[in-house]
Chain A
Amino acid sequence: MNKILLGKIVHYLLLLIGALSFLYPFIWMVSATLKPENEIANLSLIPSHITFDSYRAVFDKIPIVRSFLNSLFVSSAITASVLVFSSMVGYAMTFLSFRGKNLIFYIMLFTMMIPFQITLIPTYILIVKLGLADSYLALILPFMVSAFGIFLFKQYFSSIPRDLIDAARIDGSSEVMILFRVIWPNAFPALVTVGIITFLTTWNEVLWPLIVIREQSMMTMPQMVTLFAIGGSAESQQGVILASAMLLAIPVIIIYIFFQRYFIESMASSGVKG
Chain B
Amino acid sequence: MSSPYLIFFLIFSVYPILFSLTLVFHRWNIISPMKFVGLENISYLIHDPLFWKSITNTFYFLLIHIPLQVVLALVLANALNRKMRGMTFFRASFFLPVVISGVVVTILWKSLYSTETGLLNNLLIHLGLFKIPWLTSVHWAMPSIAIMATWKNVGLYTVFFLAGLQGIPRHLYDAAELDGASAFQQFIHITVPILNPVVLMVVILSTINGFNLFIEPYVTTGGGPVNSTLSVVLYIYRQAFSFYKMGYAATLGFSLAMIIFIVTLIQKRVLEKDM
Contact = CB atoms under 8 A, between A and B. Distances in A.
Interface of A: 8, 11-12, 14-15, 18-19, 21-23, 25-26, 28-29, 32, 40-41, 43, 85, 88-89, 91-93, 96, 98, 101, 104, 107-108, 111, 114-126, 128, 141-142, 144-145, 147, 150, 175-176, 179, 200, 203-204, 206-207, 210-211, 222, 225-226, 229-230, 238, 241-242, 244-246, 248-249, 252-253, 256, 260-261, 263-264, 267-268, 271, 273-274
Contacts, number: 231
Contact of B103 (A19, A118, A142, A222): A222
Nearest to A87: B1
Contact of A18 (B76, B123, B163): B76
Lowest 7 A-B CB distances belong to which pairs?
A122-B16, A41-B117, A92-B1, A122-B19, A119-B16, A117-B253, A245-B107
Contacts of B109: 25
B102 A273 contact: no
Given A15-B79, A126-B16, A226-B103, A238 B93 contact: no
Contacts of B250: 118, 121-122
B182 interface: no
B256 A117 contact: yes
Interface residues of B, number: 86
Given A15-B79, A125-B246, A175 B1 contact: yes
A115 B214 CA distance: 14
B123 A253 contact: no
Contacts of B110: 229
A274 B1 contact: no
Given A115-B260, A206-B103, A121 B92 contact: no
Given A43-B122, A96-B1, A117 B103 contact: no
Contacts of B8: 85, 144-145
Interface of B: 1-2, 4-6, 8-9, 11-13, 15-17, 19-20, 23, 30, 76, 79-80, 82, 84, 86, 88-104, 107-112, 114, 116-119, 122-123, 126, 151, 153, 155-156, 159-160, 163, 201, 205, 208-209, 212, 214-215, 218-219, 222, 232-233, 236-237, 240-241, 246, 249-250, 252-254, 256-257, 260
